[in-house]
Chains A and B, each alone.
Chain A
């Protein structure tokens, strides 16, 4: 692929229970400079804390926004700053897009909206909240705030949503739909999210829940080079898919997963055996949906930082990009699997 057409990651932003910021926050997580062991041992849920939305987003226009929207918006602002991009300039040429991945979006807000209807009658609901009840409310709020008037996409594929959002952005950039994308995932810690894993028969293996947002700036190399930005990573390829009739690990699923990885590598002109490390985001492991770690040098992101739904896959990408513990250059794989037959893979070249 010609250098100008490469897809680079040039900035990132993170809002999480373990830290909030740009690439430094990512590096802190990668270096495990945060203590999560006690939470994992006790099966607790870790909410985002010490998050000053006003410091990142200013004073206005935040009151009615859901927590998930605030996380994604703040992470987007941090990512833009990290990439050296302005945050309010609308170019008017649809050259900047957004892809947001989420599993349950603003479920709490939707529920509160309908509860008001049921308890107090339809005339009591706040019309200003209605637009937040749609699944694309978060990405659209970001588009308005940052003046991103290109493709505005929300992607949902269970716990793989964040990684699928990055893959969608990669495809959109490759086909020339825009020059720059903010892409990532977010999730809010609500009973509607955690309850999806606790209600079924079977054991939920040690894992805990967290929440937050991870957003990356992805852009064509030519666009980045115009402002002398350097790549944190080069996105070489990405694919995702679903294998019906497979829950957890089975021979059919194993073949499907290996095929997905092989296809992703082939798209990139790489070989699976050259993968240095796999950053693995998976759904909490129920006994009947248990997945085995991908072969090779694998980092289990969820066991370390909890399951955060649509945030997990994007967080795994942040960890890969900011890790200082690997020998570079390296070709790494970010993988998300939901234990229900869905898998996603993103191949990165880490310079």
Chain B
């Protein structure tokens, strides 16, 4: 069976503009909250978000065009980091088939929002509208990095990163690419901030997943990128695998556009598919990176799904949500969670669920409250759920 490994990681997040800073921040319990600066907050129900600070400086340092879309800049910066770590530089890129598969919720939504602001003012210059379609992001990334190969955007909302990783995994196993650059990205958007607030799904202060007094998400932005290839290809060119992707599983709740199936049965099926596809056994999973958005409905349904699949063993597996620290980065969420999962396997340490004070009897698993923890970890499960009921599960293994 063809084994797929991760050889590079890249992260642009509200707590760090590269993987090392991101990971250090997670272990330290650092939270990326601040007053939102992306747009005028007049009339908004909440004012707190998790924005990426310093992107202009990073983009300038990397020589990126500041007029390009924010999602593209974040994704490209993360991809450059990941490809560098993977040891894939210009010459080695040109001689290979390297595909790009990304996920997103809103794509370059800021381009549309700026266009509409100018429309409302009846004045003002706007950036090229060509950048708006979300498929422009992987295409422009491949153009900038001269990557020839499969090129696709999988905009499946908050689970998009895992979907993109899964699609990339399949392409590698089919031999349609030598290397795949995969992940997810989303910029901070007024549409998302307004929409989630109108649904009363946003916390006014912090995100406290699984806590009895949780009040919702904190919207965020960012990009998470992984470089994946077959183990054979990686070893042949002298690259050091960081982790192995054992398999993935997808499902749909087919229940409701915004509320998860309260029984968590859809996510449980995605977990079952991932475990079957990967050949992993429940006893092998040492840690679960949760979707853990901090809403009442999600955290409860997710807890139920884990109990449905693992039974009593669910109580023995630590489950934590990094959204407590970086907010809900939408299409980047499961990609950043995958980056963190690889780091867990590398460091043998797991991040905490921050802001946790009062246990909820309906979310009574070990949520790693407030302090990171050393833990022997051989296999990690990363789960994500999305608007529309899209569920995903990824299984990663230590190499």
Contact = CB atoms under 8 A, between A and B. Distances in A.
A and B bind: yes
Interface in B154-179: 154-157, 163, 167, 170-171, 173-174, 176
A164 interface: yes
A270 to B, nearest CB: 17
Among A136, A171, A175, the most chain B Cβ lie within 10 Å of the Cβ of A136
A117 B120 CA distance: 11
Contact of B135 (A93, A122, A157): A157
A56 interface: no
B152 A115 contact: no
Interface string B177-196: 00000000000001101111
A140 interface: yes
Given A110-B112, A151-B251, A117 B155 contact: no
B377 to A, nearest CB: 27
B32 interface: no
Could you say which interface size class chain A belongs to?
35 or more
Interface stretch (B42-50, B208-216, B237-245): B42-50
Given A148-B252, A164-B152, A168-B167, A137 B257 contact: yes
Contacts of A149: 251-254, 266, 269
B129 A196 contact: yes
Given A140-B257, A157-B153, A161-B135, A121 B42 contact: yes
A115 to B, nearest CB: 6
A49 to B, nearest CB: 26
B197 A122 contact: yes
B198 A125 contact: yes
A117 B112 contact: no
Contacts of A150: 250-252
A117 B130 contact: no
A93 B387 CA distance: 20
B255 interface: yes
B199 interface: yes
A107 interface: yes
Contacts of B134: 135, 156
Contacts of B334: none
B195 A139 contact: no
Contacts of B148: 241-244, 256
A90 B254 contact: yes
B247 to A, nearest CB: 10
Nearest to B99: A241
A275 to B, nearest CB: 20
Contact of B195 (A133, A144, A177, A341): A133
B185 to A, nearest CB: 13
B389 interface: yes
Q: Which residue, of A92, A114, A168, has the highest number of chain B Cβ atoms within 10 A?
A: A114
A143 B199 contact: no
Interface in B20-63: 42-45
B310 interface: no
Interface string A121-148: 1110111001111111101110110111
B116 A118 contact: yes
B105 A241 contact: no
A123 B193 CA distance: 12
A140 B252 contact: yes
A191 B83 CA distance: 37
Nearest to B144: A244
Contacts of B283: none
Contacts of A83: none
Interface string A166-196: 0010011001010000000000000010011
B387 A121 contact: no
25 contacts: A90-B254, A94-B250, A107-B132, A114-B190, A114-B191, A118-B120, A122-B194, A125-B194, A130-B194, A134-B387, A135-B134, A137-B387, A143-B254, A146-B254, A149-B254, A152-B252, A153-B163, A156-B153, A171-B167, A175-B173, A192-B132, A195-B129, A242-B150, A244-B146, A245-B146
Closest 7 pairs between A and B when the two form their complex, measured CB to CB:
A140-B388, A130-B195, A135-B155, A242-B151, A152-B252, A151-B250, A127-B198
